[in-house]
């Protein structure tokens, strides 16, 4: 008799109306009916990404969008600057290696944001760099990297593009693709958009198109040029994830209806209310520049963060996330993305309190919940 809650930073809980929409009979993708849906999605994505450029939709997880970016922008033997401050920064470096691209890694301690001066120094030392790869929000540590400042560094370099993994940032807080000079922005369906996993979305600037057109890197399924051509014919190059795109149309219609500012305010509110509870419990946040996508909590001295996660999942029916790699056992992460609201945040805090109490950490049950409740009540005035 357990109700289940999904509060991990991806995949996230999907709203019932979106689930029902995606349960409708499959339509053929080479049909006027599907083309009309794709056109709606095309407009909705431009609004979400804050760009005038087309956003390509790929049938893959978010990593497919990252891989496509490397494959289309960098040729074997090219150099790229990689901001590496967590699990997903490491993924950029691994993708570069897989495609024969020489990665100049700007290593950042986990939990810290990159200093733009370090990226500037790497670009000075490697003016030949084709791309700078970075996360807007490094989900493994909860840190926001200063992508706007990086945009300023890269914009004056005609042969270098800024590629931003915004898989857990876009739709959570303000990411101004065109205004900030973010040449390529990648997102996925199963984070802030609140859809099931399976779609990657990638915006591509004019500067990035020029690199994609002339790169000698072999590519086939993830060929930006092929997808752009197809989009011009109001279709996709290959069979798209039809149901997910139907769900995406629904989600994007809602995004336009409520507007980006309200969407960002929603995530900020969940994050701040949750953090009021975290502080009241005497716990601290792991990242120095926390994002609104997820609250990353340092496990208290003597408590294994993995045990907290396990208790929540196995006994309380609540899925949050633990730490990965070097952060394993040291942190646990509560998502603010997906079909969640402030009441769910109170549930998460109650469960964390209960787990810490069970594991022998001194907590006053209800203290974090009370502080979060007070925060939500005050801010609601
Ligand atoms: C979730 C996530 C990814 C990986 O996406 P998949 O859909 O699992 O391939 C990459 N980068 C960031 C920042 C993420 O949050």
What pLDDT, in 10s, does the model give residues 295-305? 999 999 999 99
Confidence of residue 381 (pLDDT cuts 50, 70, 90): very low
If you average pLDDT over residues 161-174, what whole number do you get? 98
In this prediction, residue 1 carries a pLDDT of: 77
Which residue matches tokens 């993830």? 222
Is 333 annotated to bind ligand?
A: yes
Cα separation, 224 vs 73, in Å, equals: 10
Q: How far is CA 77 from CA 2, 64, 91, 109, in A?
A: 54, 21, 18, 28
Can you give the pTM of this predicted structure?
Answer: 0.98
Cis peptide before 307 (omega within 30 of 0): no
Residue nearest to atom 2 of ligand 1 (CA): 167
| Burial state string for 136-169 with b = 16 or more CB within 10 A and e = fewer than 16 | bbbbbbbbbbbbbebbebbbeeeebbbbbbbbbb
With pLDDT > 70 as the criterion, what percentage of the chain qualifies?
99
Of 239, 357, 295, give the one whose Cα is nearest residue 7. Answer: 295
According to CATH, the topology of domain 5-10+260-378 is 3.90.1150
Q: For the chain, what is the mean pLDDT?
A: 97
Ordered strands of the 331-335 beta sheet: 294-298, 331-335, 321-322
* Runs of H (alpha helix) within 157-223: 206-214
Between 379 and 124, where is the model more confident? Answer: 124
Atom number, ligand 1, closest to the C-alpha of residue 197:
7
If you average pLDDT over residues 133-138, what whole number do you get? 98
Element (H, E) at 308: helix 305-311
If you average pLDDT over residues 275-282, what whole number do you get? 98
Cβ–ligand 1 distance for 332 under 6 Å, the answer: no
Q: Is 331 helix (H, G, I), strand (E, B) or coil?
A: strand
In this prediction, residue 379 carries a pLDDT of: 60
According to CATH, the topology of domain 16-258 is 3.40.640
In this prediction, residue 192 carries a pLDDT of: 94
Strand partners, 290: 143
Atom number, ligand 1, closest to the C-alpha of residue 137:
13
In this prediction, residue 186 carries a pLDDT of: 98
Tell me the per-residue pLDDT of 74-108, one tens digit each, with 9 for 90 and over: 999 999 999 999 999 999 999 999 999 999 999 99
Cβ–ligand 1 distance for 188 under 6 Å, the answer: yes
Domain ranges, ordered by start, for the chain: 5-10+260-378, 16-258
Cβ–ligand 1 distance for 63 under 6 Å, the answer: yes
Q: Is the pLDDT of residue 66 over 80?
A: yes
Burial of 272 (C-beta count, 10 Å sphere; 0-12/13-18/19+) = middle
Burial of 222 (C-beta count, 10 Å sphere; 0-12/13-18/19+) = buried
Is residue 336 within 8 A of residue 324, CB to CB? The reply is no
Confidence of residue 193 (pLDDT cuts 50, 70, 90): very high
In this prediction, residue 2 carries a pLDDT of: 87
Q: Is the pLDDT of residue 380 over 50?
A: no
The two domains 5-10+260-378 and 16-258 share their CATH topology (first three levels equal): no
- Ligand 1 mean position, distance from CA 62 (Å): 5
Both tokens of 200, joined, read: 């990657």
Q: How far is CA 295 from CA 14, 259, 273, 321, 371, in A?
A: 20, 24, 10, 10, 16
Atom number, ligand 1, closest to the C-alpha of residue 135:
13
Tell me the per-residue pLDDT of 239-270, one tens digit each, with 9 for 90 and over: 999 999 999 999 999 999 999 999 999 999 99
């Amino acid at each position: 008799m357990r109700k289940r809650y999904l509060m991990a930073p991806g995949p996230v809980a999907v709203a019932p109306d979106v689930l029902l929409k995606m349960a409708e009979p499959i339509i053929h993708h080479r049909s006027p009916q599907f083309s009309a849906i794709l056109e709606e999605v095309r407009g909705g994505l431009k609004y979400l990404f804050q760009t005038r450029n087309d956003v390509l939709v790929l049938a893959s997880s978010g990593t497919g969008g990252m891989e496509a970016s490397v494959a289309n922008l960098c040729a074997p033997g090219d150099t790229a600057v990689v901001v590496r401050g967590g699990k997903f920064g490491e993924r950029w470096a691994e993708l570069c290696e897989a495609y024969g691209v020489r990665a100049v890694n700007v290593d950042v301690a986990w939990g810290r944001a990159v200093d733009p001066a370090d990226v500037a120094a790497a670009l000075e030392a490697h003016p030949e760099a084709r791309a700078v790869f970075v996360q807007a929000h490094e989900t493994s540590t909860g840190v926001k990297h200063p992508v706007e400042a990086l945009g300023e560094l890269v914009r004056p370099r005609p042969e270098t593009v800024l590629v931003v993994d915004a898989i857990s940032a876009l739709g959570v807080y303000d990411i101004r693709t065109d205004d900030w000079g973010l040449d390529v922005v990648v997102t996925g369906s199963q984070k802030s958009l609140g859809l099931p996993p399976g779609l990657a979305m990638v915006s591509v600037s004019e500067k990035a198109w020029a690199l994609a057109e002339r790169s000698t890197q072999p590519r086939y399924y993830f060929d930006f040029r092929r997808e752009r051509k197809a989009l011009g014919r109001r279709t996709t190059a290959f069979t798209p994830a039809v149901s997910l795109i139907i769900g995406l149309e629904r989600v994007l219609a809602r995004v336009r209806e409520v507007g980006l500012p309200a969407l960002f305010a929603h995530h900020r509110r969940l994050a701040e209310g949750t953090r009021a509870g975290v502080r009241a419990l005497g716990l601290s946040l792991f990242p120095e520049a926390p994002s609104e996508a997820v609250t990353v909590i340092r496990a208290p001295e003597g408590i294994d963060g993995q045990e907290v996660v396990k208790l929540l999942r196995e006994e309380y029916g609540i899925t949050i996330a633990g730490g990965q790699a070097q952060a394993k056992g040291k942190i646990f992460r509560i998502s603010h993305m997906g079909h969640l609201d402030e009441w769910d945040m109170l549930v998460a805090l109650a469960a964390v309190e209960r787990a810490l109490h069970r594991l022998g950490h001194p907590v006053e049950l209800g203290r974090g919940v009370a502080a979060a409740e007070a925060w939500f009540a005050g801010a609601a005035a």
